[in-house]
């Protein structure tokens, strides 16, 4: 919890690749006492693993999969909703990650952001192609699009990033959050959101953009 | 932070708003094409998009994680051979931190829907020419691998002739199971040595292996995670490899992929630690290619 209160400025970026050879004591102690929980500090970062995947390292790709699959599937499922379709999409996402990893440049963004971008695009494409606008509308109406912002730690499963994301989203105004989540989880375009909310398109554009700028500020992301 | 505030204060022009929407995939196909045409020409816009995408990752992380069924990983790996990796040259394509997003392809190259990415033109050449330092394997590991592979005859012949000096009273032999607490404690003891060092490498078969050693104690140990099950007819075997060849350093069978093992025999500085899959019971010399090689 103390970590949550003192986030590093650029929180979504994995820590810089550390030398993998290092005095072993603290790492091993941590792993022995807490062996099941999360990667230790000396494990390769997701950036390392994606770069290694880009030169055909299947073991690295396997490790990357192990450490990101639940997050990727979670995102895809949130957008696509249907579990079986979500799994199909997630599989395609990982194949695309494998295929296009040579193009990943760690200097230009984090591995997880890069993977989320692929996953989200595919999920939205699936939603838009597989379902009519009417279906989608019903689907959106049938669930809560607004991310609960008072999420309580789910026992040991709590992930720092997950928790921090809720904290960050809580910083948006209700109207900004509505626009951003309708777009991101609902797969709606700006025009569709305007229609759905019955507000002018320009209003949607402004809210969405201001919401993104605000998220960037909260997360400490600058250009 | 202030650089994020200043644009927020002015009225967003249409393109600012469109770029934010693009980062959320809240655009039509036509809008997508417009944005990508502008991105291709402007490093500033690509940087702006990169910042948007980092922020969008917050939304992704706010979605509850869903544990994938085990079969999903298998089906991904089953298809890897069908999807050759692209050339790294495409990294200059638009898209900020996500140059390989479908949108970074020429418009229309990636039809919406779940088309398998196998349709990508085969262009894996430059990926192979990449700086090998980019590989996950450290220089020591690569050197050790080369050594193993370049002199297999020497190594194996020498190993066959090697005298087995492993006595029964070696630390780590009598622990209750490879992943038992006793083994963990003894691995921890090595890791706690003042001169302890460690290297973590991926196993060629999946999973990760950390080798920890202490010259002072003359011991080394292995901590492994996510190793694949090799079945009851096979076992993992550890080796100390030096100029004299490969010496067996113990076998183990991971528990749910995890294992803590102290190597049998004495650790000497500069020795190479290797790991292979061998027939159950272990071999006296490696019979398969190593899946882990670490130079200490």
The answer to whether residues B230 and B236 touch, using CB atoms and an 8 Å cutoff, is yes
A138 and A209 assigned to the same domain:
yes
* Residues of B whose CB is below 8 A from A212: 20, 23-24, 52, 55-56
Tell me the per-residue pLDDT of B57-82, one tens digit each, with 9 for 90 and over: 989 988 988 999 999 999 999 999 98
Instruction: Kindly state the DSSP code that residue A32 receives in the 8-state scheme.
Output: H
Nearest CA in chain B to A17: B136
Picking from B104, B128, B152, the residue at the C-terminal end of a domain is B128
CATH number of domain containing A179? 1.10.10.10
Picking from B110, B128, B146, the residue at the C-terminal end of a domain is B128
Checking DSSP bridges between strand B219-225 and strand B259-262, what pairing results, if any?
Answer: antiparallel
CA distance A93 to A73: 9
B179 and B197 assigned to the same domain:
yes
CA distance B27 to A88: 23
B82 and B119 assigned to the same domain:
yes
What lies within 8 Å, CB to CB, of B168 at 6+ separation is none
Picking from B94, B128, B162, the residue at the C-terminal end of a domain is B128
Are the Cβ atoms of A119 and B60 closer than 8 angstroms? yes
A92 and A52 assigned to the same domain:
yes
A155 burial via Cβ count (<10 Å: 0-12, 13-18, 19+): exposed
| The predicted structure's pLDDT at residue A31 | 34
Tell me the per-residue pLDDT of B236-267, one tens digit each, with 9 for 90 and over: 899 988 878 888 898 888 877 777 788 888 88
Taking phi over 0 as left and psi of -120 to 50 as alpha, with beta for the rest, B87 belongs to beta
Count of domains forming chain B: 2
A90 and A118 assigned to the same domain:
yes
CA distance B294 to B21: 48
pTM for this prediction: 0.52
Picking from A87, A111, A130, the residue at the C-terminal end of a domain is A130
Checking DSSP bridges between strand B292-295 and strand B272-279, what pairing results, if any?
Answer: antiparallel
* Residues forming a β-bridge with B224: B209, B259
Residues of chain A numbered 86-145 and touching chain B (CB < 8 Å): 86-92, 94-96, 98-105, 108-110, 112-114, 116-122, 124-126, 128-130
A99 and A138 assigned to the same domain:
no
* Secondary structure of chain B as H, E, C letters: CHHHHHHHHCCCCHHHHHHHHHHCCCCCHHHHHHHHHHHHHCHHHHHHHHHHHHHHHHHHHHCCCCCCCHHHHHHHHHCHHHCCCCCHHHHHCCCCCCCCCHHHCCCCCCCCCCCCHHHCCCCCHHHHCCCHHHCCCCHHHHHHHHHHHHCHHHHHHHHHHCCCCCCCCCCCCCCCCCCCHHHHHHHHHHHCCCCCEEEEEECCCCCEEEEEEECCCCEEEEEEECCCCCCCCEEEEEEEEECCEEEEEEEECCECCEEEEECCCCCCCCCEEEEEEEECCCCCCCCCCCCEEEEC
B75 and B157 assigned to the same domain:
no
Residue A106 lies in a domain: yes
Residue B44, Cα to own-chain centre: how many angstroms? Answer: 33
Residue A3 lies in a domain: no
CA distance A85 to B78: 19
Residue A206 lies in a domain: yes
| The predicted structure's pLDDT at residue A137 | 53
Q: Of A28, A119, A166, which is closest to B62 when you measure between CB atoms?
A: A166
The answer to whether residues B49 and B39 touch, using CB atoms and an 8 Å cutoff, is yes
| The predicted structure's pLDDT at residue B183 | 65
* Residues forming a β-bridge with B200: B210
Which helix or strand (DSSP H or E) is residue A182 part of? helix A174-184
What lies within 8 Å, CB to CB, of B70 at 6+ separation is none
CB–CB contacts below 8 A, A to B: 389
A49 and A106 assigned to the same domain:
yes
| Least confident window among A39-43, B18-22, B99-103 | B99-103
B188 and B90 assigned to the same domain:
no
Residue A96 lies in a domain: yes
B216 and B232 assigned to the same domain:
yes
Picking from A72, A106, A130, the residue at the C-terminal end of a domain is A130
Q: Which of B196, B207, B187, B175 is nearest to B260 (CA)?
A: B187
Q: Which of A196, A218, A143, A182 is nearest to B26 (CA)?
A: A182
B95 and B209 assigned to the same domain:
no
B160 and B269 assigned to the same domain:
yes
Are the Cβ atoms of B4 and A28 closer than 8 angstroms? no
B116 and B42 assigned to the same domain:
yes
A107 and A144 assigned to the same domain:
no
DSSP 3-state of A223? coil
Mean pLDDT of chain A: 75
* Residues of B whose CB is below 8 A from A150: none
B14 and B157 assigned to the same domain:
no
Tell me the per-residue pLDDT of A68-103, one tens digit each, with 9 for 90 and over: 999 999 999 999 988 999 999 999 999 999 999 999
A132 burial via Cβ count (<10 Å: 0-12, 13-18, 19+): exposed
Number of residues written out for chain B: 296
A94 and A60 assigned to the same domain:
yes
B41 and B91 assigned to the same domain:
yes
Residue B117: domain span: 2-128
B139 and B264 assigned to the same domain:
yes
Distance, in angstroms, between B294 CA and closest chain A CA?
Answer: 11
Q: Which of B293, B264, B263 is nearest to B276 (CA)?
A: B293
Determine which of A103, A105, A186 to mutate to test the interface with B (most B C-beta atoms within 10 Å). A103
Checking DSSP bridges between strand B292-295 and strand B197-202, what pairing results, if any?
Answer: unpaired
What lies within 8 Å, CB to CB, of A140 at 6+ separation is A182, A186, A188
Residue A146: domain span: 132-223
The answer to whether residues A87 and B69 touch, using CB atoms and an 8 Å cutoff, is yes
Count of domains forming chain A: 2
| Least confident window among A38-42, A77-81, B270-274 | A38-42
Number of residues written out for chain A: 223
Residue A12 lies in a domain: no
Asked casually if ipTM beats, i.e. exceeds, 0.85, the reply is: no
Highest-confidence segment of A182-191, B11-20, B220-229: A182-191
Picking from A104, A130, A156, the residue at the C-terminal end of a domain is A130
Residue B173, Cα to own-chain centre: how many angstroms? Answer: 29
A67 and A96 assigned to the same domain:
yes
For residue B188, pLDDT over 80 is answered with no
B168 and B243 assigned to the same domain:
yes
CA distance B42 to B94: 9
| The predicted structure's pLDDT at residue A215 | 92
């Amino acid at each position: 919890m103390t970590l949550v209160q003192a986030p590093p400025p650029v929180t979504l970026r994995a820590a810089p690749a550390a030398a993998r050879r290092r005095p072993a004591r603290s790492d091993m102690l941590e792993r022995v006492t807490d062996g099941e929980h999360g990667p230790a500090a000396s494990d390769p970062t997701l950036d390392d693993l994606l770069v290694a995947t880009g030169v055909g390292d299947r073991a690295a790709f396997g490790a990357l999969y192990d450490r990101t699959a639940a997050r990727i599937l979670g995102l895809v499922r949130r957008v696509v909703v249907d579990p079986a379709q979500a799994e199909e999409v997630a599989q395609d996402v990982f194949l695309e990650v494998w295929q296009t990893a040579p193009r990943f440049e760690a200097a230009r963004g984090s591995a997880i952001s890069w993977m989320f971008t692929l996953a989200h695009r595919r999920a939205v494409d699936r939603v838009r192609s597989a379902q009519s606008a009417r279906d989608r509308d019903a689907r959106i109406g049938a669930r809560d699009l607004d991310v609960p912002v008072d999420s309580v730690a789910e026992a040991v499963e709590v992930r720092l990033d997950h928790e921090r994301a809720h904290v960050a989203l809580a910083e948006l105004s209700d109207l900004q959050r509505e626009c951003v989540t309708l777009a991101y989880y609902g797969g709606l375009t700006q025009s569709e959101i305007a229609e759905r909310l019955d507000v002018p398109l320009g209003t949607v554009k402004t809210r969405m953009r201001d919401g993104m700028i605000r998220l960037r500020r909260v997360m400490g992301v600058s250009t | 932070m202030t650089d994020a505030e200043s644009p927020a204060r002015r009225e967003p022009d249409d393109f600012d708003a469109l770029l934010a929407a693009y980062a959320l995939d809240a655009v039509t196909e036509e809008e997508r094409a417009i944005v990508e045409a502008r991105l291709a020409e402007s490093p500033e816009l690509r940087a702006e998009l990169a910042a948007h995408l980092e922020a969008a990752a917050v939304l992704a992380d706010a979605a509850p994680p869903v544990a994938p069924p085990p079969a999903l990983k298998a089906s991904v790996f089953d298809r890897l051979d069908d999807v050759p990796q692209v050339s790294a040259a495409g990294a200059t394509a638009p898209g900020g931190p996500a140059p390989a997003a479908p949108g970074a392809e020429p418009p229309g190259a990636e039809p919406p829907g779940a088309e398998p990415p196998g349709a990508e033109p085969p262009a894996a050449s430059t990926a192979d020419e990449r700086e090998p330092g980019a590989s996950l394997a450290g220089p020591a590991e690569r050197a050790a691998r080369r050594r193993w592979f370049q002199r297999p005859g020497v190594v194996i012949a020498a190993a066959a002739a090697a005298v087995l000096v492993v006595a029964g009273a070696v630390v780590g032999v009598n622990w209750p199971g490879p992943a038992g607490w006793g083994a963990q404690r003894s691995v921890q003891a090595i890791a706690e040595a003042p001169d302890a060092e460690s290297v973590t490498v991926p196993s060629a078969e999946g999973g990760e292996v950390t080798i920890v050693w202490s010259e002072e104690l003359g011991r080394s140990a292995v901590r492994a995670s996510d190793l694949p099950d090799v079945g009851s007819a096979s076992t993992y075997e550890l080796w100390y490899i030096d100029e004299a060849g490969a010496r067996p350093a113990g076998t183990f069978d991971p528990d749910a992929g995890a294992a803590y093992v102290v190597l049998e025999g004495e650790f000497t500085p500069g020795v190479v630690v290797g790991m292979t899959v061998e027939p159950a019971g272990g071999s006296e010399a490696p019979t398969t290619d190593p899946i882990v090689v670490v130079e200490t």
